[in-house]
Structure 1
C-alpha cells in the first residue's frame, strides 16, 4: 500500500452511528485506477463511489468492517431458500448500462423506505454515485414482474470478484425480501461467471441496517488487516 498516494477527507457526521465523526482514506495517486487494480484495493477493505476509491479511516472508531463471501462455499439458509421460492415467478436479467427506468424506481425506493436517511430526498446524482464510473463498467441485475421492473442490484465486476454496490426495489414488493433476493442473485452470477468472492461492503455491529450482511454464511470479515472466516 505504501507505493500509492492517499489523502484524508475532512471529518463529517457519521451516516450510521449517532454522535460519531467519519473520515475517509481516499486514493489520489497519479496512477489511474483500473478495474484490475481495484481488485487489490478491495482485498484491503476499499470501496468505490463513482470514480473515487476509499475506505473509512476514523480517528476514534474502527466499527466499519469489510465483509465478503467465498461464493462457492455459500449455503443458503432456510429463510433464504423460502425467499428464492417466493420469487420464482420473477424474471432476472443482467444489463451493462443504466436504463431510463432506473431512477424513478430508485427515487421511489429512497423516498419511501429511507426518508430518515442521508439520501432523502433522492437525487439523480445519488444513483450516479453507484451506477457511473469511468474506469469500471458496473453490472445491473434487474428483477421483473412480467414487464415491470421491480428491483435493481448494482454490482462491480473484476476478473475474480463481484462487489454488491447498492440495491433498490419497488416498495410495493417489500414482502418478497427483494434486497436479500438481489444478493442471492449476485452470488449465483458470481458462481456462473467463475468468480471467487462477492464483496458486501461494510458491516457495523451496532447498525441494524447492516445486519443482513452477516446472514449470508460462511462469510469473511476483515479484522486487524486480515480476513477472518465466520461460519
Structure 2
C-alpha cells in the first residue's frame, strides 16, 4: 500500500507595500508557486478561489485593513452584449485572431513596449525589457496561450497563415471551466476600436464555443476608476465571503 502523500502547496505572505490602485492604502499578498505536474490543476483550483497567475506564481490580496479587491468572472453562456459592445464588434470585423503557443516574438514585444509607454509610463511594468517580456510569456507550467489580433490584409483567406499588422495580444490561461485573461495589450493609436473591450468580447465568444461557463477578469477594485470597466460585462459573479455571488449590473453603459 502506497502511503506517500501528495505535496501540498506552500503559501507565503509578502511585506506591506504601497497600493497601486487606492491612495493611502498598503497592500499585502499571499502567494504560492505553480510548478510541477499538478500546476494546471492547482491553477484551476486557486483561480476559482480568487487567485491570479503571474508567471509561475499564484497570488491574491491579503491586505490587513482593506477588502476592495474582488475577483470577478463573466457568465459566458448568459452574456448578451450591449449596444456599444455590438458597435465595438462591428468596428473590428476586419480583424483576424489566431491562437499561438506561449512563445514571445520581437513583434509582440514592440507592441507591448508601445502600449506601456503610452498607457503605463509610471507603472510597475514600465521598465520591462525584452527578456522580462519573454519570462512573462514563457514562465508558465499551465496551459497558456497567446491570442494575436491582426488587421486582415486584402486577399488573405481564413485558412492562410495570418498576415497583416499586429495590433493586440492577449496572454490567456486555458482552464477546465473557462478562460482566464492573464494580461492583454494593444496599439494605443487604434483607440477608436476599443481593443480592450473587443478582446474581452472575443474571449466570451471563445468560452461559449468551448461549452465552458466562465471568463476570469482578475480583480475589480472598488473605488478605482480604472477598474470600473470590469463591471460592464454582465451577468457576472464576484467572489465574496460566502463564495461566488451574482453582482448587480452598473446603472449605465458608457463607451470605453
Q: TM-score, normalised by structure 1?
A: 0.92
Aligned pairs for 1:1-231 (under 5 A) are 4-27=9-32, 33-100=38-105, 101-124=107-130, 126-128=132-134, 130-146=136-152, 147-230=164-247, 231=249
- SS in structure 1 of the partner of residue 89 of structure 2: helix
Q: TM-score, normalised by structure 2?
A: 0.83
Shift in alpha-carbon separation, 1:128–1:18, aligned structure 2, 3 A: farther
Gapped regions of structure 2 (runs ≥ 5): 1-7, 153-163, 250-256
Shift in alpha-carbon separation, 1:38–1:217, aligned structure 2, 3 A: same
- Highest Rg: 1 or 2? 2
In structure 1, C-alpha distance between the alignment counterparts of 2:95 and 2:140, rounded to whole Å:
32
CA contact (8 A) 2:43 2:142 kept: no
For residues 123-145 of structure 1, give each alpha carbon's deviation from its aligned partner in whole angstroms, at most 9, with x where no partner exists.
Answer: 33553464233311311121101
For residues 82-108 of structure 1, give each alpha carbon's deviation from its aligned partner in whole angstroms, at most 9, with x where no partner exists.
Answer: 100110011111112324111110000
For residues 114-161 of structure 1, give each alpha carbon's deviation from its aligned partner in whole angstroms, at most 9, with x where no partner exists.
Answer: 223222234335534642333113111211013110000111112222
Shift in alpha-carbon separation, 1:128–1:24, aligned structure 2, 3 A: farther
- How far did 1:5 drift? 3.1
Gapped regions of structure 1 (runs ≥ 5): none
